[in-house]
Structure 1
Amino acid sequence: MRVFIAGATGAVGTRLVPLLLAAGHEVVGTSRSEARLGELERAGATGVVMNGLDAASVRRAVLDAHPDVIVHQLTALSGQVGDLKRFDEIFAATNALRTRGTDHLLAAAAEAGVGRFVAQSYAGWPTERTGGPVKTEEDPLDPNPTKASRETLAAIRHVEQQTTDAGGLALRYGALYGPGNDIGRGGSVIEMLRARKLPLVGGGAGVWSFCHIDDAASAAAVAVTRGAPGVYNIVDDDPAPVAVWLPELARAIGAKPPMRIPAWMARPLIGEHGVSMMTRVRGASNAKAKRELGWEPAWPSWREGFRRGLG
């Protein structure tokens, strides 16, 4: 098949390109920068410059490529750990790609007669923060998001709704870790943890689901040819509270254990959303992806992944 990857030089895209080529597909990959097209050409793909927020640029790239499948991996997520009180502000560029960028790609896909559309979404904190600790795709997204995350959650709703309405698949990745990520060798989370600037807040009861970057790419590769329209959680088998995984991450990188501070003390520093991420969020189940996509994570637990897969 001829596969068009929007965002082929991003964290997931760079790992997805060789998987698709190895499976015998033709790949056309986009980058915002002409300087990065050489990476795609050397890998064996065709590289094109595209601005995901420019409808004309997207239309031209898609129509010229004549793809059978579009994989939407457009984000601006690199190095975005920061002031969680400004969560929506930090994610504004990615939110634009999840809304306007998605609309541009879907419009071009319809005009070009593209038969399959796969888009990136996110699992974990966007789901409701009540009930059990692990959520499936049937559970609703949070009806009462924190003030700082409302725009980001609305953008996630948009990419999922528009994608599935068009008969596509939305892949909800867990918290990504591995080479080139914030939770990866030299990444911002790792450096904050080494500097003891990432404390354990409250009881650390917030449950996270992780996904190694290579497993995110393998799921996208599978979704190019398999799976009915819908939403799929792409996470490992081991959802865990912050109180469990954060000290383990510190141990894996040889850092001192994180300091512990009460939620009331953390709230002025990281805001309501930051406290929620530490104390209230829920994890995600990967049962549907295993059952319906036939996908299995190569890194079934972050425990081994943190020890051997950070890069």
Structure 2
Amino acid sequence: MAVRVFVAGGTGALGRRLVPQLVARGHQVTATTTSAAKRALLEKLGAEAVVMDGLDAISVGEAVAQARPDAIVHEMTAISGKPDMRHPDRFFSTTNRLRIEGTDHLLAAAEATGVPHVVVQSFAQSFGPGAGLLTDEDPMDPGTATMARRLSAGVMHIQDVVPEAGGTVLRYGGFYGPGASDDVVEFVRKRKFPLVGEGTGWNSWVHLDDAASATVLAVEKQARGVFNIVDDEPAQVREWLPYLAACAGAKRPMRVPKWLAKLLAGEFAVTLMTEGRGFSNAKAKRELGWQLRYPSWRQGFKEELA
């Protein structure tokens, strides 16, 4: 059944893949951007374009009220430009605000206008101790490192407030694909992305198109609760990073000890490379009927990033 969908953040890397999939399945889409210059892009993708400031409660409330959607999808981030691993708190500060304040504004607008379903983007990253894959019922743990805890504030807020409001949390894996992984590939090709320590940190990946298709299913099935939107093969950095380099035609990444990496790139870079848990996608496949085009990053990296 076709519904009216309000996509907050329609011009981001995922929004640009999500909007066309929703339109192709017959849904009426209103999508937002912070820039009037990007309205034409959203219209080209098939959406009605709206300029909205996700950090302004009035702007959000008016946009949602005018669209009268059946579902809201929160895909707002402010991740652009080359990552600053020395100062990640600065790089992710606006995104954290969008995950906290922006989420609260959208939930309030949904309640005020009677929107029955809200889907919110989160991130599958957890640094707590333990072994095995994290399920959708397992809470994410920011770990003990100061910077990791600071950067996790947004996803921790989403974890707390969205399920309580009856919404849906999609914990996406690391995105790759057009517009999502270009900077990483460039760093790898220039040998500026070394393997830190033993590279024992785990990552779960997902191609943008697979993330978008899971989001469409969450909307259509009015799914509730938390879902891990990741591929079938979580991997340690020491496994996926050399493979990515080979796919990109780059030399094998250099290896640096943790103490040196901490001096050069900061605490958070070391945490990313040496800690972290993998995530299970069993619930999304079972309850959403999700089928991945790229079940493994191995296939996806080879086809998309070479």
Q: TM-score range by the shorter chain?
A: over 0.9
Preserved CA contact (<8 Å) 1:208 1:242:
yes
Larger deviation: 98-107 or 34-43? 34-43
Distance 1:145 1:227 in 2: 35
Matching residue of 1:25: 27
Match for 1:81 among 71, 80, 83?
Answer: 83
Aligned residue number for residue 238 of structure 1: 233
Q: CA RMSD in A?
A: 1.4
1:139 partner letter = D
| Closer, same or farther: CA 9–266 of 1 in aligned 2, 3 Å | same
Give TM-score, length-normalised by structure 1: 0.94
Is the Cα–Cα contact under 8 Å of residues 205 and 231 in structure 2 kept in the other structure? yes
Match of 2:188 among 173, 190, 193: 193
Moved over 6 A (4+): none
Q: 2:67 aligns with which of 65, 80, 105?
A: 65
Contact 2:10 2:33 in 1 (8 A): yes
Contact 2:77 2:94 in 1 (8 A): yes
How much does 1:200 deviate?
Answer: 0.5
Aligned mate of 1:221, from 212, 216, 219: 216
Identity among equivalent positions (%) equals 53
Deviation at 1:133, TM superposition (A): 4.3
Q: Which runs of 5+ in 1 are unaligned?
A: none
2: CA distance between counterparts of 1:203 and 1:48? 47
- Aligned partner of 1:120 in structure 2 is 121
CA distance in 2 between partners of 1:90 and 1:165 (Å): 29
Kept in 2: contact 1:134–1:283 (CA 8 A): yes
- Cα distance change on mapping 1:193 and 1:264 into 2, 3 Å: same
Native 8 Å contact 1:70 1:116 kept in 2: yes
Counterpart code for 1:154:
A
Q: Who is 1:251 aligned against? A: 246
Give the count of matched residue pairs.
304
Aligned to 2:94: 93
Cα deviation, 1:116-142, whole Å, max 9, x if unaligned, reads 100100002xx2431114211222322
Show the counterpart of 2:282.
Answer: 287
Residue 77 (structure 1) shift? 1.4
Is the 2:127–2:275 Cα contact (8 Å) retained in structure 1?
no
Q: 1:95 to 1:143 in 2, by over 3 A?
A: closer
* Contact residue 227 and residue 293 of structure 1 kept, 8 A: no
Normalising by structure 2, what TM-score? 0.96
In 2, Cα distance between equivalents of 1:258 and 1:43 = 38
| Aligned mates of 1:237, 1:9 — CA distance in 2 | 27
Measured in 2, the distance between the counterparts of 1:236 and 1:295 equals 11
Alignment match, 1:43: 45
How far apart, CA to CA, are the structure 1 residues paired with 2:46 and 2:269? 42
Counterpart CA distance in 2 for 1:150 and 1:251 is 33
The separation in 1 between residues aligned to 2:305 and 2:64, in whole angstroms, is 34
Q: In structure 2, do the counterparts of structure 1 residues 304 and 143 end up closer, same or farther at CA, with 3 Å as the change threshold?
A: closer
Contact 1:88-1:150 at 8 Å conserved across structures: no
Alignment of 1:4-15 (within 5 A): 4-15=6-17
- The answer on whether the counterparts of 1:133 and 1:207 sit within 8 Å (CA) in structure 2 is no
In the TM superposition, what is the alpha-carbon distance from 1:9 to its structure 2 partner? 1.0
How far, CA to CA, are the matches of 2:142 and 2:176 in structure 1? 28
Provide structure 2 residue ranges, at least 5 long, that are not aligned to the other structure: none
d(CA) in 1 for partners of 2:262, 2:142: 22
